[in-house]
Amino acid sequence: MKVLIADQFEQSGRDGLAAAGCDVVFDPNLSGDTLGAALRETGAEALIVRSTKVTADMLDGGHLALIVRAGAGYNTIDVAAASARGIYVSNCPGKNAVAVAELTLGLILALDRRIADNVSTLREGRWDKKTFSKGAGLKGRTLGLLGFGSIAQAVARRAQAFGMDIVIWTRSFEDGAPVDFAAYGLDPNGRESKVTAVRTPGEVADAADILSIHVALGSGTRGLVDAAMIARLRDGAMLINTSRAEVVEHEALATAVRERRIRVGLDVYPDEPAVAQGEYSHELLGLPGVYGTHHIGASTEQAQEAIAAETVRIVRAFKETGRVPNVVNLARQSPATHMLVVRHRDRPGVLAHIFEQLHDAGINVQETENIVFEGAEAAIARINLDHAPSPELVLAITQGNEHVLSTQLVAL
C-alpha cells in the first residue's frame, strides 16, 4: 500500500508503516495544489495529515481510499467530499488528551500567578514583587468545563488534585440523570473538591471562576461561547480555550477583557497561519491579562509518539482487514427503509441473481452481509434497500434461482 504523509510525522510512525509493508512517501511541505498533484502522481491509497488542509479538489483523479488525521479533530478535512467519493476519514481520539490537559492547567496556573509577566519584567531588569504577589490561588475555586470528552476528563482529574470544585456541561448530561463520576476517575464528593453536572452551558458560566472549553467544532458548538455567555462570567474570571477558535466570539471576549478584567488563555485563534512559522496578530493578544500559546496543545513528545502509533494501527488494520478503526464518516444510521432477508444455498450466482433483479427494478442496495452456516452449504443474506421491492419482485427473486430457499421482507 502506498502511503503519503503530507505533514510532520514521527520517525517511529514512519518506521512502523514501513514494517507493516507500506510504501511510504514523506513530504511534510505538501499543501494545496502540490498535495493534490502528489496524490495523483504517487497513486497513494492512504494520506496522513495533521494541520494540512484536505479539500475536495485534491481528492479527484487519484486512488485515495483512506485519510488519517494524526490528531483528535478533523475539521481541516473536507469530510463530506471524502464521503461522496467513498474515502474513509479516521482520526486518533484521546491520544493527545493528557498533553492538552497539561497545557490547560499550565495556562490556568500561568494566569493566576502571572508567570509570563513575571518573566518579562525580570528580563527587563526590574524587580516588582509587590505587583506580582497577588495570585488568588486555585484551591476552592470552581472550574467550569464545557464538554466532557477525554481531554476535559483529564483536566478534571488534575483539577481535583488542586482542590478545585468542578462543574460540567455536556450534551450527554442534559437529561439530568445521575452521573457516576467515579467511572471517570473523579471523586464526586471529595473532602476538598466537589463535582457536579448541569444541564446548560450557561449554568457552567454562572458558576465558574475559570471556564475551560473542550468541545468539538460542529453546527451546535460554533459560536457557543458568545457575548451572552461571556456576560454571565463574573468579573475577573478566566476563560481558557484549547479546543477550537470558532467556538468563541472573540470580539465579545476582547470587550470583556477590557471592561471586566476577564483573563484569557488561548491556544487556538481565528485564521491561524497554515505554516509553522510566520506573521500573526490578533487584537486579543495585545491586551493585558491575555496569554497565548502557538496551538501547541498536542505537541508533546509523549502525545506525538502515541498518535504516531495509533496512526500506524489504523493504516495496518485497513491494509490487512479492510476495516478502519476510529472512522468518522460512516452513516450513523443506515438510510435504508427495508431489509430483504434471503436464505440460500451457498452456490455461485445466487447473490448476482438477487442484485440483478434489484438493479433492474431501480432499487439501491445500501448495505449487505452474507453469513454462511456451518458446513458452508447454506447462507443467509441480509440486504438493506432504499425502498421496498414489490411483491412481484420478491417472488421473482425467490423463484428465479433454484438455490434460493426463502425470502422475507422487513421494514426498518
Q: What is the 3-state secondary structure (H, E, C) of the chain?
A: CEEEECCCCCHHHHHHHHHCCCEEEECCCCCHHHHHHHHHHHCCCEEEECCCCECHHHHCCCCCCEEEECCCCCCCECHHHHHHCCCEEEECCCCCHHHHHHHHHHHHHHHHHCHHHHHHHHHCCCCCHHHHCCCCCCCCCEEEEECCCHHHHHHHHHHHHCCCEEEEECHHHCCCCCCCHHHHCCCCECCCCEEEECCCHHHHHHHCCEEEECCCCCCCCCCCECHHHHHCCCCCCEEEECCCHHHECHHHHHHHHHHHCCEEEECCCCCCCCCCCCCCCCHHHHCCCEEECCCCCCCCHHHHHHHHHHHHHHHHHHHHHCCCCCECCCCCCCCCCEEEEEEEECCCCHHHHHHHHHHHCCCCEEEEEEEECCCCCEEEEEEEECCCCCHHHHHHHHHCCCCEEEEEEEEC
Range(s) of the domain holding residue 55:
2-94+302-321
Q: What is the CATH number of the domain that holds 58?
A: 3.40.50.720
| pLDDT at res. 10 | 95
| pLDDT at res. 165 | 96
Q: Which of 216, 263, 254, 217 is nearest to 236 (CA)?
A: 263
Q: Which of 321, 355, 389 is the last residue of a domain?
A: 321
How many Å apart are CA 182 and CA 172, to the nearest integer? 16
Locate 165 and state its grid cell: 470544585
Cβ pair 238, 108 in contact under 8 A: yes
**In terms of domains, do 247 and 365 share one?**
no
Q: Which of 245, 238, 283 is nearest to 267 (CA)?
A: 245
Whose cell is 498518535? That residue is 307
**In terms of domains, do 77 and 105 share one?**
no
Cβ pair 317, 325 in contact under 8 A: yes
**In terms of domains, do 44 and 76 share one?**
yes
| pLDDT at res. 127 | 96
333 lies in some domain: no
Q: Which of 213, 218, 212 is nearest to 74 (CA)?
A: 218
**In terms of domains, do 114 and 250 share one?**
yes
**In terms of domains, do 24 and 130 share one?**
no
Of the residues 158, 295, 347, 403, only one is catalytic, namely: 295
Locate 389 and state its grid cell: 421491492
| pLDDT at res. 249 | 97
Task: Please count the structural domains in the chain.
Answer: 3
143 lies in some domain: yes
pLDDT mean by block of 10 residues, the chain; 412 residues: 96 97 96 94 96 92 94 89 96 93 98 96 96 92 96 96 96 90 88 91 97 92 96 97 96 96 96 85 94 93 95 97 94 87 96 96 94 95 95 95 95 91
331 lies in some domain: no
**In terms of domains, do 292 and 151 share one?**
yes
User: How many CA atoms, within 13 angstroms, populate the side-chain half-sphere of residue 77?
Assistant: 26
187 lies in some domain: yes
**In terms of domains, do 218 and 113 share one?**
yes
Query: Does 272 participate in catalysis according to the annotation?
Result: yes
| pLDDT at res. 189 | 80
- The total number of residues shown for the chain amounts to 412
**In terms of domains, do 58 and 162 share one?**
no
| pLDDT at res. 142 | 97
330 lies in some domain: no
Kindly list the distances between the CA atom of residue 173 and the CA atoms of 160, 189, 198, 379, in Å, as whole numbers in the listed order.
20, 18, 7, 43
For 27, other C-beta atoms within 10 Å of its C-beta total: 14
243 lies in some domain: yes
Of the residues 272, 305, 343, 382, only one is catalytic, namely: 272
**In terms of domains, do 24 and 157 share one?**
no
**In terms of domains, do 161 and 52 share one?**
no
**In terms of domains, do 350 and 317 share one?**
no
| pLDDT at res. 75 | 85
| pLDDT at res. 277 | 85
| pLDDT at res. 219 | 86
| pLDDT at res. 203 | 97
| pLDDT at res. 318 | 97
**In terms of domains, do 218 and 286 share one?**
yes
Q: What is the CATH number of the domain that holds 392?
A: 3.30.70.260
329 lies in some domain: no
343 lies in some domain: yes
Of the residues 141, 214, 244, 353, only one is catalytic, namely: 244
| pLDDT at res. 274 | 74
One-letter amino acid for residue 75 of the chain: N
Whose cell is 431501480? That residue is 362
